Amino acid sequence: MKVRSEMRFISRHSKRDMELPRKRHELLNRIITSLRTNEDVEGIFLGGSLAKGNEDHFSDIDLRIIVPDEQYKRFIFDKQKLSAQFGNVLFFEDLNPNAPFTIAHYDQFIKLDLFIYTFQTLKPSVWLKGIKVVHDPSGELQEIVRQSEGLFYQVTREEVEAWSGKVYAYIHEVYRRVMREEYYYALTMISNLRSFIVKGWSMEVDRQPNDAWDWSKIEGSRSNLEPWQLSMLGRWSCGRDQEEIMKTLHSMIPELRRLHGNLCDKIGFGENHNNFDKIVNLVL
């Protein structure tokens, strides 16, 4: 029997991509040097893979700055102008001028995620574990980090109820969209179910899950998933075909059912397979 070999994409940008880590390092140094000289910047820290030291060629710069309360609105108003000081920005993702963040894409194919905080709004959190402090003249940021290190994620009843509600809704919506022959919509719901299964896998082992629909670090060398989980995700693929979509949905139900039971047990909610089956059997 022939073994099907995986086709590899050959990029015409390979030479540029090899230079990305160096270019990103140079850009980050310019940013930090500039911000450190700004008297209104009270703290700077990195998040994401650059903070953890597991970055690759395509990692973003996840930069967080802390500013005085009275300067907060001004920094938000000037966030794009600030990002443009560090390099040639091709475009910005964010459309909300009042949001305390901006996402800048530079002409070197490097992305900057800039978030703006005050010490009043920045509190100890599991999300602050593993950050890298690069500027903290008052020492207040290090104290917040120290307190954050003692915090641990634990799934709550509210999270499980929200997770279950979304899962049920996606299951029903797959059926509705298949019957309407809205296949792109149905396939999006299948993808959302995959995402919520991954979220459930994290929740059942008390690991901070990604935000909803965030697929970062799910696959590849930095994945937290077990081989059997990755294999299971790979099997839940389908095309624009009614029967294929419904068969894929049907094959996801046992794992969704198992996760639902385990998560209910974790919060002492009391597993109710009959209710799960009643909801699912409306479409299967």
Task: Indicate the DSSP class of residue 218.
Answer: S
Phi, psi angles (nearest 5°) of residue 85: -70, -20
Mean pLDDT computed over every residue of the chain: 94
Task: Indicate the DSSP class of residue 74.
Answer: H
61-66 and 111-117 as β-strands: parallel, antiparallel, unpaired?
parallel
Q: CA-to-CA distance for 220 and 99, rounded, in angstroms?
A: 31
Q: CA-to-CA distance for 239 and 243, rounded, in angstroms?
A: 10
Q: Is the pLDDT of residue 8 over 90?
A: no
Contact in structure between 160 and 196 (CB atoms under 8 Å): no
Q: What pTM did the predictor assign?
A: 0.87
- Residue 271 confidence (pLDDT): 59
CATH number of the domain located at residue range(s) 13-150 in this protein: 3.30.460.10
Nearest 5°: the CA angle 216, 93, 166 is 50
What does the pLDDT average to over 130-158?
96
- Residue 2 confidence (pLDDT): 44
Question: 3 falls in which pLDDT band (50, 70, 90)?
Answer: very low
Domain ranges for the chain, please list them.
13-150, 157-282
Q: CA-to-CA distance for 62 and 111, rounded, in angstroms?
A: 9
Please state, in angstroms and as integers, the Cα–Cα distance from residue 220 to each residue in 10, 18, 51, 217, 226, following that order. 18, 18, 19, 7, 12
- Residue 90 confidence (pLDDT): 98
Over residues 54-111, the pLDDT tens digits come to 999 999 999 999 999 999 999 999 999 999 999 999 999 988 999 999 999 999 999 9
The architecture in CATH of the region 157-282 reads: Up-down Bundle (1.20)
Q: Is the pLDDT of residue 116 over 50?
A: yes
Question: 212 falls in which pLDDT band (50, 70, 90)?
Answer: confident
- Residue 6 confidence (pLDDT): 62
- Residue 273 confidence (pLDDT): 67
Please state, in angstroms and as integers, the Cα–Cα distance from residue 194 to each residue in 31, 118, 145, 191, 217, following that order. 37, 36, 33, 5, 14
